[in-house]
Amino acid sequence: MSDFKNKNVLITGAASGIGRIMAKLAAKEGARVILWDISDSQLQALHREIEAEGGKAFSYLCDVSVKETVFQTAEQVKKEAGPVDILVNNAGVVVGKMFSEYTPEEIEKTVNVNLMALFWTVKAFLPGMLESDKGHIVTIASAGGIIGVSKLSVYSATKFAAFGFDESLRMEFKKAKQDIKTTVVCPFFIDTGMFKGVKTRVPFLLPILKPNYAANKIIKAIKKNKRRVWMPALVYTVPLLRIFPVAFFDAAASFLGVNSAMDPFVGRKEEK
């Protein structure tokens, strides 16, 4: 068990959605929260709110899809806030359409925000963690990172990769006997607006998750050094279903409404 008191906690995509809630929760736990986002107005509003409630915050306008911007902003963080103890890679975007309808620009943006940004932020802050032999890297992936979903081809591809990245990092730290923790988070759809319009066929088994519930669960998992957080509980059955023939796996996903969930998707063009 660890705590947030006096820890530097950096959250990407911090100004809205579960990023915003996690930032406020971490600040209440005594952390110095380092907020990264591309929305300056929302970022500054959150910064002011945290400090008005007695917390400590540093805020940086940062487009995590741009490698150079990530590295430059990381240097600012190190100079002004100090080493990062807990890195929460939360920023993400989604395009809900059939792959044949994607534009090349939509593909590149999704890959850059959801995947490449993970590499750049970890590359920027891992040396400090290795030097101190402590730290925690949190990857907000998705249930769409362990099961492919219709109309989420590129999103799912990035989240599958995020899941693999977390797993490889965990193995590397373990092999090298380094005391750096990792946590991967794979939630079903969260009601933040990012997936506005999505539906679930079986809400008692696969509910659309409430943002406060998801954020609290993640923060508690970080404190407990949990390696993975999948929600709801039914998500844990996905690996088990893969032992069956593909036709059975696909039929189960369709029966649960997984492949029709995105049909009424509306979403937002810009979302963290």
Inter-axis angle of helices 153-175 and 104-111, nearest 10: 20
Give the predicted TM-score (pTM) of the model: 0.96
Omega within 30 of 0 (cis) for the link into 232: yes
Closest to 121 (Cα-Cα) out of 162, 168, 178, 153: 162
Q: Known catalytic residues?
A: 155
**At residue 16, what is the residue type?**
S
Tokens of 79: 């100079």
Tokens of 169: 């990092």
List of domains in the chain: 8-260 (3.40.50.720)
- pLDDT by residue, tens only, the chain of 272 residues: 678 999 999 999 999 999 999 999 999 999 999 999 999 999 999 999 999 999 999 999 999 999 999 999 999 999 999 999 999 999 999 999 999 999 999 999 999 999 999 999 999 999 999 999 999 999 999 999 999 999 999 999 999 999 999 999 999 999 999 999 999 999 999 999 899 999 999 999 999 999 999 999 999 999 999 999 999 999 999 999 999 999 999 999 999 999 999 999 998 754 43
Assign 49 to helix, strand or coil: helix
Assign 140 to helix, strand or coil: strand
